[in-house]
Amino acid sequence: MLKLIDRVVRNEKNQRGGVKRVAMIAALLSTLSVNAFAADKAAILLPGSINDQSWNAQGYEGVKRLKAMGWDVAYSENVQPADMAQAMRDYAQRGYKLVIGHTGRFQSAAEAVGPHFQKTLFVAGSGSKGAGKNVTSVDFDNTQFGYLMGVLAARMSKTGKIGSVNGLEGLPNVVAQVGAFRKGAQSVRPDIQVKVIYVQDMEDAAVAKEAALSLIAWGADFVSGKLNAGQTGIIQAAKEKNVFTNGRSADNSAIAPQNVLTNIVEKWGDMYAAIAQEDAAGAGGGKYVLYGLNSKGSTGAQLAYDGAHELNPVVPKAIADEIDADEKKFASGALHVSVTAKDARGGV
């Protein structure tokens, strides 16, 4: 490109009036140079605090990953459902090329705003569908990891009763994980009793703790769940009553090292980075992308107790081997799980 610029400038100098034209070309090239090397702007909108050691903290990994890729990244925390569409619109009006809403609740907001800003790609993290040419949803395969957690819970239970505390009843990815948790447990212990409680607030740890304690009082000795900051309430209840549980971040293991058996660590940094790369190549819009153990580029999530172990060392080797075998079956396509709303129902 520099050789081409030099050639144009020399040619203009050799022509009548070349000095003025060279000055004009220089100004134009200066503008083009700034635009060419200016970082594209991306924004990530989060429904809660990035310090929740759960869902929003994982979304913030997307901020860090996009920054490392050279994007100029902004983010907003605690965006409430009533404000989601306006928040997306505000960033699009300011010239942001990529606007990510880190929850499936941004799906309808993206669909409403997207048609008015065709040069912006709107992404709903944990959404369920694409729309038009510039609204995309991305998620990890909740059925795979819910199923694995159900197998682990059923195998580790001594009472024959396990439970799960969740929010956003009816949301597709919640149905996927909760329904698969039930099916995974029943696949290895058909007589296992599984009780599900839904709460209204994903962020309220106190409410989640009370729900978990009620499950434990019922007899559950493994309590799972899919919450944001509320996940810590489940873990605290498990610690107090000395039963097993799982978290959503490797940091959750430190809250109750003897009780947390593993964490479903979602790789949102990887998934958002992949979508950003596809958008740069002109292929990022209007689709639904699901990452799992059988997908290329990213598994979307992984089980991790800490940096060195997938499962808590208290899990017997035979059970750990069974979980590993199921992961390999998912990866090869030999195991596929489908769930219905009935599988994810509240109650037993």
Q: Measured between alpha carbons, how far is 233 from 109 in angstroms, rounded to an integer? A: 30
Q: Give 197-242 pLDDT, tens digit per residue.
A: 999 999 999 999 999 999 999 999 999 999 999 999 999 999 999 9
Share above pLDDT 70 across residues of the chain, in percent, rounded to a whole number:
89
pLDDT of residue 54: 86
pLDDT of residue 53: 83
Cut 0.75: pTM above it: yes
49 CB-contact burial (10 Å; exposed 0-12 / middle 13-18 / buried 19+): middle
Higher pLDDT, 231 or 52: 231
Chain-centroid distance of CA 64 in Å reads 14
pLDDT of residue 22: 41
Q: Is residue 294 predicted with pLDDT exceeding 70? A: yes
Q: Give 83-138 pLDDT, tens digit per residue.
A: 999 999 999 999 999 999 999 999 999 999 999 999 999 999 999 999 999 999 99
Interacting residues of 231 by C-beta distance below 8 A, sequence separation 6+: 53, 54, 205, 208, 225, 247, 248, 252
Q: Please, are residues 191 and 160 in contact by the beta-carbon 8 Å criterion?
A: yes
Q: Give 303-323 pLDDT, tens digit per residue.
A: 999 999 999 999 999 999 999
pLDDT of residue 157: 98
